[in-house]
A and B are shown apart, each in its own frame.
Chain A
Amino acid sequence: MKPQTRKALLAVGALAVAAAALGVLALGNIEENLVYYWTPTDLLAKQTSVQDATIRLGGMVQKESLVWNAETLSLRFTMGEKPEPGGPSVVVVSTGAPPQMFREGIGCIVEGRFDGQIFHSDRLMVKHSNEYRPPEPGEDPRKKYETLVPERPATHPSGGGR
């Protein structure tokens, strides 16, 4: 074997070993840092195997379940598949203030861990769609800030969405 060929083979071999090591390292690292996307039903079905996994849980905030503690900035509610109470559901305790439009009956996503009883979340997102859809009666957001616009009568009758 010519010395040049041997050099080239050595280089290729070293590169292959390095690439394999990198692949194993990266894949292992990915598996450790996965975030699972589940619904309450999925979570309840798999709860024994998910003690340490980071989970993104998506569902509806069930009606009459929301408790907000302004002192500790913590939120407790039941997340289910439907906005009405009942069906598969998980109790969520979320730290941090909820977004402005957060309320019962809407879809939301929480990220955190499940200890078998309670889902502890440090991140809460409201599910929203960008599709145009006129506000339903009683949810016109303008009502909220009309009281905040200084020295100005409301020019639009409330409820008349654009």
Chain B
Amino acid sequence: MNSILGHLLVHLGLGAAGFGLVLGLIAGFRQSPRGLRWTEIAAYVFSAALILANLVMIWALLSHDFSVSYVAKVGSRSSPTWVTVVSLWSSLEGSLLFWAGVLGAFIALFTISSRGRFRDYMAFALAISLGVAAFFTLLLAGPADPFAPISPVPADGPGPNPLLQNHLLMVLHPPALYLGYVGLTIPYAIAMAAVLRGKLGEGWLVPLRTWTLGPWILLTVGIILGGWWAYEVLGWGGYWAWDPVENASLLPWLAATGYLHSAIVHERRRVLKVWTLSLVVVAFLLTLLGTFMTRSGIFNSVHAFAQSDIGPVFLAFIAVALLFSLGALAGRGHLLESEGRLGGVLSRETSFLLNNLVLLVFTFTVLLGTIYPLLTEALQGRKVSVGEPYFNQMAAPLGLMLVFLMGVGPALPWGRADLRRLAGGLGPPVAGALVTLIATLALGLREPLPLATFALSVFATVVALREIGATILAHCQTSAGAAAVLQRMAHNLVAGRRRIGGHVVHLGVVMIVVAIAASSSYKQVGESALGIGQSLTLGDFRLTYLRTEGREDPHRFSVAAHLALSRGETPLGELAPRLNFYATQREPVGAPAVRAVRGRDVYASLLSFENDGSQVVIKAFVNPLVSWLWWSLPLLCGGTLLAAWPRRRALPEVKR
């Protein structure tokens, strides 16, 4: 029953998407209102069909309908309910179904929010997003069919990959990433509509920006939550390993971040139109490449699903999308001519251009390191991987340059800088950086890279705080009375929300940069076999082994080593790292224990234990400032929300 219903919905969606693609293109070239109307209907039908198909699958999972092949693959009667729901995206077919459903939701939202506006672009934009939708639905109808009926019907299934049911973050990390990844389809469609239409008017810029900011922040959150999940589950004390699939999520983020910055130059100076649109296109193509890398099984990783047949189809689609985008940009890009001019060498524009350049170089180096093993294996038959040092050596200077530009950029005026004013403006941030440098040197830190990072981070922080303050306090006259000042500040907050939001996001980025520098440079590691009462000392922390306890859950067994944590003579409670045993996997899955103590994380992993609990082997880390990575989330989300908040009619009136 669920199989038939699912198949019907997938095929309905496929038909609607294919119909919308063709009709939308025709309606776009002919500028036909009736054609647009029918394209919108096709978009709604696609969205409804794929969202319903997802609900059918969730229902099949919850009701343990093992006659559906995907349920038989990942379902299990012993899984807790949350694991069962999460199973929707825990394996290839289900994740593609979820993907198409999310795309359906995005397309529906996009259609509704643009209804009656942007009429000369919408047919193209819908056609292109439905084209992408048609491809993903085609995978669901053919090579990656989640609804295939199976017989005989098995009595029970194995449950999802144990690594994925080990932590609650698995509920949040994949959907956030998927939403970001899939969401970038919409700005791509918007950009290509502008290219096909041969114009990019002011009105069309707003949806482009808004529809990029949304997926961008979701991608950001997804990446950070992924790091958090790795940190809390994988047990090696880190959060980022330059795994090909981690890189796959970073690549479109870098390109989209480049777009968000060049869009500001574009709006302000009316230049760089093709360049800006190209960044959106690159970001989208990188999401396709990323999906291909995660879903085709060419990489062996936590994320890569088993070998599947979708690889060639996917590569073909990437090739089509690449050729279409390049062809359209090359053939019609000249229609989008610059209306303004760039300013002098020492100007705000230059800092944005350099930012774009650094981000693109960053994208290129990560991409090269990621696909290099594939290239050497295909061309030379060498089986290799690119080690982490390559990525770290390339990323560190590029990251520092970005932080530097983040500080210098806002201090530079548009057009041409007046050197004397510039020097005056840079005074306080430079002073802050110097004080930081002296303070960190006095604390005994000597490594050049983290020292430079801390100093530049303070530099960028001072600039961001000053910009936020200056924007909010603009035109506030204390003589006007408290009420008037407050009203003025509220007005400034609303009017300057984009700039303020941007700088709040910068503060979040600074937190991340500082956390990465501190945790990678000043980590302490220790490993030891401990009998009962013996302890492992790490800096001023001490972990003492107390006992081992086993526990039986419906879907797993777990063994926890209880350790007493103390700092000097002060007891700080217990840490209980575990090993979880799942019925479907011979090797246990670790669950490290983490305790934050004044900015430092004490992190313990249980490596092995004796059957009688007499001895355990513990690996422990002291990681400074890692929690700042997670604490950057409120700043990043809050800042983005502020920047993306839509303009509602006129601003509140303020008396001058």
Contacts and interface: CB of A to CB of B under 8 A. Distances in A.
A132 B73 CA distance: 10
A145 B550 CA distance: 6
Interface in A119-162: 126, 128, 130, 132-133, 135, 139, 141-150, 152, 155, 161-162
Contacts of A30: 368-369, 372, 386, 390
B383 A26 contact: no
Contact of A37 (B383, B583, B611): B383
B586 A35 contact: no
Interface in B612-653: 612-613, 615, 617, 619
Interface string B66-88: 00000000000010000000000
B418 interface: no
Interface in A22-70: 22, 26-27, 29-30, 32-38, 54, 56, 70
A130 B585 contact: yes
B362 to A, nearest CB: 11
Contact of B585 (A29, A128, A143, A147): A128
Nearest to B586: A101
Interface string B388-404: 11100110000000000
A118 interface: no
B382 interface: yes
B471 interface: no
Query: What secondary structure prevails in chain A residues at the interface with B?
Result: loop
B566 to A, nearest CB: 23
A118 B585 CA distance: 32
Contacts of A133: 584, 586
Contacts of A101: 586-588
B586 A100 contact: no
Contacts of B383: 36-38
B158 A146 contact: no
A98 interface: yes
A134 B554 CA distance: 17
A145 B609 CA distance: 10
B581 interface: yes
A96 interface: yes
A101 B606 CA distance: 12
A9 interface: no
Given A35-B385, A148-B549, A97 B611 contact: no
Q: How large is the interface on A (under 10, 10 to 19, 20 to 34, 35 or more residues)?
A: 35 or more
Interface in B495-545: 527-529
B608 A100 contact: yes
A33 B581 contact: no
A99 B587 contact: yes
A73 interface: yes
A144 B558 CA distance: 11
Contacts of B617: 73, 97
Interface string B20-55: 000000000000000000000000000000000000
Given A37-B384, A73-B527, A130-B161, A145 B557 contact: yes
B368 A139 contact: no
Nearest to B163: A130
B559 interface: yes
Given A37-B384, A97-B607, A146 B550 contact: yes
Given A56-B385, A141-B581, A97 B557 contact: no
Contact of A132 (B158, B372, B394): B158
A144 B616 CA distance: 13
Contacts of B585: 128, 130
Contacts of A37: 383-385
A27 B387 CA distance: 13
A139 B579 CA distance: 17
A155 B608 CA distance: 24
A98 B609 CA distance: 11
A162 B619 CA distance: 31
Contacts of A27: 368
A33 B550 contact: no
B140 to A, nearest CB: 22
Nearest to A127: B587
B548 interface: yes
A78 to B, nearest CB: 21
A25 to B, nearest CB: 8
B567 to A, nearest CB: 25
A58 B583 CA distance: 25
Interface string B411-436: 00000000000000000000000000
Nearest to B579: A100
B530 to A, nearest CB: 11
A97 B608 contact: yes
Contacts of A70: 529, 615
A149 B552 contact: yes
Contact of B548 (A26, A148, A162): A148
Given A99-B607, A149-B552, A33 B586 contact: no
B298 interface: no
Given A100-B588, A130-B585, A147 B612 contact: yes
Contacts of A141: 557, 581, 586, 588
Interface string B157-169: 0100100000000
Contact of B587 (A22, A33, A34, A126): A126
B371 to A, nearest CB: 11
B368 A34 contact: no
Contacts of B487: none
Interface in B583-598: 583-588
A142 B619 contact: no
B59 interface: no
Contacts of B386: 30, 33-35
7 contacts: A100-B609, A101-B587, A126-B587, A130-B585, A142-B557, A147-B550, A149-B550
The 9 closest A-B pairs by CB, nearest first: A148-B550, A145-B550, A97-B617, A33-B390, A37-B383, A33-B387, A149-B550, A132-B158, A162-B583
Given A130-B584, A132-B584, A150-B549, 15 more contacts: A26-B368, A29-B393, A30-B386, A33-B389, A34-B385, A35-B386, A35-B387, A73-B617, A97-B527, A100-B588, A128-B586, A144-B559, A144-B611, A147-B612, A162-B78
